[in-house]
Structure 1
């Protein structure tokens, strides 16, 4: 990972630094695609660390996120000195100071962005807590089991439908918390009862996909209503078009292919 990181910084040093946009400027120009991508390739590495810890090392989600965050902090502090070294403009003390300043600015921006997520997570936690205390999750498992008759495809179809309903009107973070707490255990439990081992990450991605689909699916479809407000179109027609596009079997990954992937 260290060799790949240094190599990507070497590639990044061959391009000029990106200029910050001025939000007060009357005219904003889009940056060029290739320089923007090549300068920031090393920012993909924390995601690689996260996936590696989850999929290969089998760490817990919290511990995996911790190591990915630690690697991101390492990148923020060290990228400026290394890039300056490759460009022949090394000023170690000043570059390290700028790196810590970038880290501080990132922590401040992250804390501010987490305010809305924290509120959504707290609200979703109330819903999940009420459901777990009242036993609704077990009732959902029983309903899915009775209606599916033990057939895995029917289990997945019914779970997708319930995830679609539960995800209506929820923001992304709260959506995932609700569907993963209510519907993911249903697939795992019923799969084990029928002698099937379904990978946990596949289950979570499956229910999250259909939970997010609620944002473009009428009658709620918050994202469709927002898009219709911008375009001036009909919200319901926009929602049906968005749902059709997201599940088109020929041009895009279809709902059935997602179900088969989970299988």
Structure 2
């Protein structure tokens, strides 16, 4: 099982497991975000042998993607020995649907100083399993194993993992695998039923101060709606060792089309 199959150096075929939640005929954007992170790391490792870490991924979602062939491209915006700014795009039929800018950062030994005030969440085994398909349709949601502690509308902590490979028959880093799950946050703690209000996100930015480990990605998530059609989903992101970063998504909130 896989979300994407490589067809060439730059093209990939999406599988039915990428099926979207707002429209099942389109891709859920989550796997596509992971694919772009994988493309950035593949390009990085082709160019250099020191593997600087991804400290930030900032995605802008320009449009939807059908469940078909997509093309990824990568270019360097700011070259450097210790810091690089890289941009990648994902397109279908010549139309760019997602753009991401990533900061690649050299690693240094800072173990004696590491720590964070972000609170930890309960472990995956201490949260009940939750069937997200009771709220959302689509192949991607069906592929996710979710454990969730729902506190109130718009407030939850949860863990997500998937048995589906990001790219068929390819080694994928923990960062790319994590990036491919982050966009699920907007649907795991809804303020209002998506049958009443639509609230798709236009972007996603993740900052990582530690690299992820293990199969589970944890979220401590708050969803806020303003009074004029703008919302925000903000998460502290964790692995099983504790918090590793944050993720934010700006939302366009509007009455659902019936």
Using the size of structure 2 for normalisation, the TM-score is 0.24
Which has a greater percent of helix? 1
- Rg larger in structure: 1
User: Quick one: higher RCO (CA 8 Å, sep 6+), 1 or 2?
Assistant: 2
Using the size of structure 1 for normalisation, the TM-score is 0.23
Which has a greater percent of strand? 2
